[in-house]
Amino acid sequence: MIRQRLVAGVDSSTQSTKVVVCDAETGEVQRSGRAAHPDATEVDPNLWWAAFTEATSGILDGVEAIGVGGQQHGMVTLDEAGEVVRPALLWNDTRSAGAAEELVTELGGPEAWAKAVGSVPVASFTVTKLRWLAEHEPANADRVTRVVLPHDWLTWRLTGELVTDRGDASGTGYFSPAESVYRTDILERAFGGRSPELPRVLGPADVAGQTRDGLLVSAGTGDNMAAALALGLGDGDVVVSLGTSGTVFGVCPTPAADASGEVAGFADATGRFLPLACTLNAARVLTATAAMLDVDLAGLDRLALAAEPGAGGLTLLPYLDGERTPNLPDAAGSLHGMRRSNMTPENLARAAIEGMLCGLAAGLDAVLAQGITPRRVLLIGGAAQSAAVRAVAPDVFGVPVVVPEPAEHVALGAARQAAWALTPTGQPPAWPEKTSVVLEGSAPGQGAEIRQRHLDLRALVHHVPARVFQDARSTNAASSTHQSTNTDFQSPSPNSREDT
Ligand SMILES: Nc1ncnc2c1ncn2[C@@H]1O[C@H](COP(=O)(O)OP(=O)(O)O)[C@@H](O)[C@H]1O
Ligand SMILES: O=C(CO)[C@@H](O)[C@H](O)COP(=O)(O)O
């Protein structure tokens, strides 16, 4: 009998740690675990270690290799003794927005940044957090000897090795994805003239080291790169992930350098590139709206699905945690178009879902403008489980939407990387693609109208340059979301369907 080989993958994301143990040959999940993180934008990394320990408890028996995917950008600072200097500042902490503006100007403007590191930094990027630290907590800054990212820190706890990968390094703002080198000159400029030690950048199938128990540890990567690896993205595949962050990304052979700042030109976990747009407001817009309406998430779905598309004219700009794309770190949300006739819980629930998705749709436009011709949108992340999100997304995005079988895609991608490191070959192991449901819209005309209202309101309230929405979709209009078995993406049936 052939012995089953097992690998594990970890997603240390904003709200929790999730772990899957998979068959190394097929990717089939055998066991899983999870543990919550604190709800804060600065977190002691030791709490991630505690969550990792809890989530892996009792499930790693027989596992040969493990990989860690983690929330991007977080600033983890270590002192001479390897102790954490201060709680990590996370990707969604906006206090370094002023530092970001300073740095953009100092380096010669957005074009110079896009050319140097593929991205124009906003408050999410590590480099801006380091500038903030140098300016606001000089005593802490003086103690910093090493700077790492959340996944690097967990890999270091597992192996004792200070390593990272191209994918996560590309979110620092001091690494060039195109050249695959650190820009320590930029780090020095940001951090008071000195460059702390940085993790060594490993290749996609490299081994980081071993745990005390002898598990091989792969390089790990950022959570979005890990999800891309799990899904095995091909030409024209664009992912929309609805977790704490909303992200839109595809995989390309050439680097992006978008001076508008809407798209970050990251690297992926396979040696390619990963243009990505990110919003600060995704799944939690729905939890906040549900709490306000005193319903659970299923109740929010029921309310939203009972309203007409367009929410009776209500438009929500859901900038509840400030916003990153567009870059409005101090913004608050706005609800517009209220009349006595439309102020119902149903319309508010619908406006929350439409508003969240319109933010992602603007990101989708920006990512597609990098030269991706969309074949389909793959919808993942916690809020992809929402029935109302599934009903609204195809109309707002204007392309066929595919929902892969529910899975922890980041953890799966990290496990796939671990399997790759265990048996290094030119390509990641060919795990079979899972079944997915294909959704198409029911009200494409209204989708365009909803998009336009959202764009107009952004322009009105936040002076984001006004745009006329162009629906790229064909005229193949009326459709619904029933199941069928048609599997042709190129000439979609008007119904939703199972696909593999
Ligand atoms: N059925 C659902 N409808 C709406 N939101 C959901 C649903 N299921 C989970 N979520 C939300 O998804 C989020 C968690 O998603 P996840 O992708 O794990 O986030 P993260 O990776 O940022 O920690 C939570 O905010 C949760 O409320
Ligand atoms: O900042 C980004 C991407 O640039 C975020 O996508 C973070 O990587 C956090 O992801 P989630 O925890 O929301 O999945």
Domains of the chain: 6-228 (3.30.420.40), 233-408+435-499 (3.30.420.40)
Between 281 and 472, the more confident residue is 281
The Cβ of residue 207 has, within 10 Å, a number of other Cβ atoms equal to 19
Report the chain's C-alpha Rg in angstroms. 22
Pocket of ligand 1 from Cβ distances under 6 Å: 13-16, 243-244, 283-284, 286-287, 297, 381-383, 385-386
* Residue 382 Cα to ligand 1 middle (Å): 3
Residue 498 has pLDDT above 60, yes or no: no
Give the per-residue pLDDT at 405. Answer: 94
Q: Quick one: which ligand is closest to 381's CA? A: 1
> To which residue do tokens 């690297």 refer?
267
Q: Is 224 in the pocket of ligand 2 (CB under 6 A)?
A: yes
Q: Quick one: which ligand is closest to 70's CA? A: 2
Give the per-residue pLDDT at 45. Answer: 98
Let me know: does 154 contact 52? Beta carbons within 8 Å: yes
- For ligand 1, atom 9, name the residue with the nearest CA: 382
Is 72 assigned to a binding site?
Answer: yes
Residue 270 has pLDDT above 70, yes or no: yes
High-pLDDT (> 90) share of the chain, %: 89
Ligand 1 atom closest to the Cα of residue 287 is 27
What is each CA distance from 230 to 152, 342, 364, 380, 412, in whole angstroms? 19, 42, 20, 11, 6
- What is the chain's mean pLDDT, rounded? 93
* Residue 493 Cα to ligand 2 middle (Å): 33
- Residue 402's pLDDT band, with cuts at 50, 70 and 90, is very high
pLDDT tens profile 129-160: 999 999 999 999 999 999 999 999 999 999 99
Q: Quick one: which ligand is closest to 264's CA? A: 2
Which tokens belong to 4?
A: 């089953």
**Residue 321's Cα: distance from chain center in Å?**
16
* Residue 283 Cα to ligand 1 middle (Å): 5
Residue 472 has pLDDT above 80, yes or no: no
What is each CA distance from 446 to 186, 398, 483, in whole angstroms? 46, 11, 23
Q: Is 126 in the pocket of ligand 2 (CB under 6 A)?
A: no
Residue 17 has pLDDT above 60, yes or no: yes
Give the per-residue pLDDT at 474. Answer: 39
Give the per-residue pLDDT at 131. Answer: 98
Mean pLDDT, rounded, for 485-498: 31
- Residue 52's pLDDT band, with cuts at 50, 70 and 90, is very high
Mean pLDDT, rounded, for 480-498: 31
- For ligand 2, atom 9, name the residue with the nearest CA: 71
- With a cut of 0.90, is the ipTM above it? yes
* Residue 190 Cα to ligand 1 middle (Å): 34
Give the per-residue pLDDT at 184. Answer: 98
Strand (E) positions, 79-159?
A: 88-89, 146-148
Give the per-residue pLDDT at 476. Answer: 32
Residues with a catalytic annotation lie at 223
Q: Distance (Å, rounded) from C-alpha 361 to C-alpha 457?
A: 15
- Residue 3's pLDDT band, with cuts at 50, 70 and 90, is confident
pLDDT tens profile 357-389: 999 999 999 999 999 999 999 999 999 999 999
Ligand 1 atom closest to the Cα of residue 385 is 1
pLDDT tens profile 79-99: 999 999 999 999 999 999 999
Query: pTM of the predicted model, to two decimals?
Result: 0.94
Mean pLDDT, rounded, for 476-498: 31
Q: Distance (Å, rounded) from C-alpha 472 to C-alpha 397?
A: 9
Q: Is 207 in the pocket of ligand 2 (CB under 6 A)?
A: no
Give the per-residue pLDDT at 434. Answer: 86
Instruction: Read off φ and ψ for residue 58, nearest 5 degrees.
Output: 75, 5
> To which residue do tokens 């890999």 refer?
155
Tell me which amino acid residue 369 is.
A
Q: Is 245 in the pocket of ligand 2 (CB under 6 A)?
A: yes
- For ligand 1, atom 2, name the residue with the nearest CA: 386
Q: What does the CA dihedral 198, 202, 206, 208 come to, rounded to 10 degrees?
A: 0
Is 409 assigned to a binding site?
Answer: no
Mean pLDDT, rounded, for 175-193: 98
Q: Distance (Å, rounded) from C-alpha 450 to C-alpha 458?
A: 12
- For ligand 1, atom 15, name the residue with the nearest CA: 382
Q: For residue 72, how many C-alpha atoms fall within 13 Å in the half-sphere facing its CB? A: 33
Whether residue 444 has a cis bond before it, omega within 30° of 0: no
Residue 330 has pLDDT above 60, yes or no: yes
- For ligand 2, atom 14, name the residue with the nearest CA: 243
Mean pLDDT, rounded, for 201-224: 98
Ligand 2 atom closest to the Cα of residue 410 is 14
Q: Which of 319-328, 351-360, 419-428 has the lowest mean pLDDT?
A: 419-428
Residue 481 has pLDDT above 90, yes or no: no
pLDDT tens profile 419-464: 999 998 889 999 998 889 999 888 778 899 999 999 999 999 999 9
Mean pLDDT, rounded, for 30-46: 98
